[in-house]
Structure 1
Amino acid sequence: MRRTGKIISMALLATAAVACAPSTAGGGPSAAATAKALPGPSLDADADLVALVAAAKKEGSVLVYDSSGDIEEVAKAFTAKYGIAMEGVKSDTPQTAEKMTREHAADNVTIDAAMYEDGGVLVGQLAPQGVTQTWIPGDLKDQIPAENQNPLLALSKATVFGYNTRLSPGGCPVKNVWDLTDPEWSGKLVMQDPLGKPTVLSFFTQLDAYGNQKLEQAFQAKYGKPLKTEEKSAALEWIKRLSLNKPVLTGSDEDISAAVGAPAATDKKIGFMSISKFRNNEDKGYHQAACEGMTPFVGFSYPKYAAIAAKSRHPNAAKLFVHFIMSEEGVKHEIGEGGISGNSTVKPLVTPPGLSDWQGQLFHTDPKGLLGDLRNRQAMSDFWRVNRS
């Protein structure tokens, strides 16, 4: 079974804190407004796929890092199609970014391309520092919406609130995200530790930037009165209450899935986990579904970007990988359990039970707020840590 490790590199976060000092506000829009412009993407307007394949074969191999073990399946398919040895390595995004930065500085590059879930580090550090570059295949450009081109969005995945369908046959026992802050659910939410999971931290900062109105409305719907808080926003109040309600923190989505949906489970728990873990229903006989109808969202979507190492030793093979992952043939291995390709012509293959409306049920990461995510990460980490202690 493919598993994704979740150990964060504190050294990289420290670098991020120095490069982009965090503010105490949760503002994504204001941070984005002052963002330094990204280097423009490289576009082969007259790209010849046949010529690219031939050049890639001369280079002989390509090494790609990804936070998901799904990259191993992509590598097998790539090699089978083109006869070029591709190695796909599962590595946490912070560790990948740190390794690529060090290799770039030492002029000793081994990683040719990478798939990044941490858009903040990509747009705030790696691309502006010249460590990575964005390449868009000319023959696919018209299939990739403009907002997905820089950085290049390969696909979107999701993390959702899920429950055990055997223990709760009538549906998810949680109807509102504020329910998870009530004493009834103390110690019964299982989630990854945000301090070791950049996508969860980004969800928190994005929620503070763009989700306050919906959270206030959800509070009003649940309690019948307006939210009153001493915090600067409804998002911060929800995050604080969530942390104070003693969620069980893990280092992997696999552990969350086991705690919630395993056949032997006897205690009703809610898991905040990647939709990729719904494969356990078939693979392990788990009983899991997303909390359909949960107010104001069932979970959040997050982007995964494709980038090429600027000093790649196999630049044509790296470009060919990007072309492959932007096609249905390549990306299907990453969105097999649910997800949306950055190529508008590639339709979703499946969605996990309970997530029937990707657009309407999820809180969506706004790419305009990626730099704000990076700038506010340390402040959000400190906020979580203080309230958790």
Structure 2
Amino acid sequence: MTSRTSRRRPLRTGLAAGLASGTVLAALAVAGCAPSTATDGATSGDGGDAALAEPVVDKDFDLAALIAAAKQEGSVTVYDSTGDIKKVAEAFEAKYGIKTTGVKSDVGDTLEKMTREAQAKNVTIDLTLYENGPTLVGQLLPQKTVYTWIPADLADQVEAKNRNPLMVLSKANVWIYNPQVFPSGCPVDNLWDLTSPEWKGKVTLQDPLGKPNIVEWFNQMSSGYDEELRAAYKAETGEDLTTTEESAAHEWVKRLAKNQPVLTSADDDVSAAVAAPNQTEERIGLVSIAKFRDVKGKNYKMKVCDTLKPYVGYQYPKFAAIATGSTHPNAAKLFVHFVLTEEGITPEMGSGGISGNKSVPPSKNNPPGLTDWDKQLIRFDSAKLLADHRAAQPMQDHWRLNHH
């Protein structure tokens, strides 16, 4: 490219300057200079080659009977990786009068807790809205810790590719920039720009070893988007990509890791580094679209890099899975039914998203610039989740080897 920074003032090198707080400054300063070491245990306890069980669909489904049975059970507990689950739980309880506990929990913690509870036959988590498809398909489902249930009255509204496991919501991670720092628009227009010397030490994202869907994104690019990455490289350089790596994605990941990206433990730190009100540094960051709530809440200055090729980010799925040993199975099923409706999933789409139910309209809160998810974002292929599970550790090792 083509990077617009070449037409602006010289880049400042003080990576920690201008952040929103001393805490973020310290986090970035440490993460930016040390190799990433976090791990989510993504490949422990592999379920092997067992065929994925078919979803349970009640042939004689009766919503009124399910509601009555769920009320008889009296309560339900659901784990999710976002705090929005508390709003969903409140809406469910208000609608059905069933005591509902929504717990925010990292996917790694949820995986460990549900596995241990199943082994101890002491299940307290009735179901989970779960964002790590590879460990769901590679561990929780084949080990029969959880199962997939689809309400028969809504089954036709869920595309076949999203039924096993059951996707209830698609969210997105996107590359952002600060329009106050870059008034002419996103300063990069090609993913390969982020691996260039000009952007060394100025790209920030969560540590891939601590955020499973980033590693999954790397693997999905490797298995399904090689052609697009090679075309983007040629558009950028005028030359075909030459690499000894197994895919264009592996080459891109290697180059990004070697380009001294600033790694954080949370998207909050990334958005602050890029978009905080007092921010003047030239940076690009990868964040969940949920961070766009800070545009109003914290007066952050951020926009989607909507001109970035071949994609401005990736969409990642959230799946519903019911604990096999749940003592509130009907309440858990009713909760799944609820989140497949517009009423139930809307609290999870306050900062954007697309329901797994195709009859539910997309969120009205998707950030400006993100107008066509199918064209602008890489989409994870559920058919490759088990392959992603097996490839997670090798990709983590690939990142770790190259991030110095």
Could you tell me how far apart the structure 1 residues matched to 2:38 and 2:402 are? 22
2:334 paired with 1:305: no
1:144 aligns with: 158
* Structure 1 residue 11 displacement after superposition: 7.3
1:13 aligns with: 42
SS at the partner of 2:201?
Answer: coil
2:83 paired with 1:69: yes
* Structure 1 residue 10 displacement after superposition: 4.7
Which amino acid is 1:345 matched to?
A: S
User: Could you list the per-position Cα deviations for residues 183-214 of structure 1 after superposition, in whole angstroms to 9, with x for gaps in the alignment?
Assistant: 11111111000000100000011111111111
1:8–1:197 Cα contact (<8 Å) kept: no
SS at the partner of 1:89?
Answer: strand
1:45–1:139 Cα contact (<8 Å) kept: no
In structure 1, list runs of 5 or more residues that go unmatched. 1-6, 21-34
1:348 aligns with: 362
Could you tell me how far apart the structure 1 residues matched to 2:254 and 2:38 are? 24
Go from structure 1 to structure 2 and tell me whether the alpha carbon gap of 1:164 and 1:66 turns closer, same or farther (over 3 Å shift): same
1:387 aligns with: 402
1:375 aligns with: 390
Go from structure 1 to structure 2 and tell me whether the alpha carbon gap of 1:19 and 1:151 turns closer, same or farther (over 3 Å shift): closer
Could you tell me how far apart the structure 1 residues matched to 2:166 and 2:177 are? 33
Could you tell me how far apart the structure 2 residues matched to 1:282 and 1:69 are? 18
Could you tell me how far apart the structure 1 residues matched to 2:261 and 2:395 are? 17
* Structure 1 residue 48 displacement after superposition: 1.6
Which amino acid is 2:387 matched to?
A: G
Could you tell me how far apart the structure 1 residues matched to 2:369 and 2:261 are? 23
Count of residues in correspondence between the two structures? 368
Which amino acid is 1:153 matched to?
A: M
Which amino acid is 1:59 matched to?
A: E
1:168 aligns with: 182
2:353 paired with 1:339: yes
User: Could you list the per-position Cα deviations for residues 239-269 of structure 1 after superposition, in whole angstroms to 9, with x for gaps in the alignment?
Assistant: 0000000110001111111111111101021
Could you tell me how far apart the structure 1 residues matched to 2:73 and 2:104 are? 23
* Structure 1 residue 8 displacement after superposition: 10
1:209 aligns with: 223
Could you tell me how far apart the structure 1 residues matched to 2:61 and 2:149 are? 11
Could you tell me how far apart the structure 2 residues matched to 1:158 and 1:269 are? 20
1:85-234 equivalences under 5 Å are: 85-234=99-248
In structure 2, list runs of 5 or more residues that go unmatched. 1-35
User: Could you list the per-position Cα deviations for residues 17-48 of structure 1 after superposition, in whole angstroms to 9, with x for gaps in the alignment?
Assistant: x655xxxxxxxxxxxxxx54211111123322
2:290 aligns with: 276
2:108 paired with 1:79: no
Could you tell me how far apart the structure 2 residues matched to 1:268 and 1:334 are? 32
My pick for the range that moved more, 47-56 or 181-190, is 47-56
Go from structure 1 to structure 2 and tell me whether the alpha carbon gap of 1:221 and 1:11 turns closer, same or farther (over 3 Å shift): closer
2:209–2:215 Cα contact (<8 Å) kept: yes
Could you tell me how far apart the structure 1 residues matched to 2:100 and 2:283 are? 40
1:249-288 equivalences under 5 Å are: 249-288=263-302
2:305–2:312 Cα contact (<8 Å) kept: yes
2:79–2:103 Cα contact (<8 Å) kept: yes
Which amino acid is 2:330 matched to?
A: N
SS at the partner of 1:363?
Answer: strand
Go from structure 1 to structure 2 and tell me whether the alpha carbon gap of 1:9 and 1:165 turns closer, same or farther (over 3 Å shift): closer
Could you tell me how far apart the structure 2 residues matched to 1:301 and 1:347 are? 16
User: Could you list the per-position Cα deviations for residues 127-150 of structure 1 after superposition, in whole angstroms to 9, with x for gaps in the alignment?
Assistant: 111100111111111111111111
Match for 1:363 among 357, 374, 378? 378
1:8–1:92 Cα contact (<8 Å) kept: no
Could you tell me how far apart the structure 1 residues matched to 2:333 and 2:260 are? 46
> What is the percentage of aligned positions where both structures have the same residue?
54
Could you tell me how far apart the structure 2 residues matched to 1:195 and 1:147 are? 28
2:270 paired with 1:241: no
1:26 aligns with: none
**TM-score between both structures, scaled by the size of structure 1:** 0.92
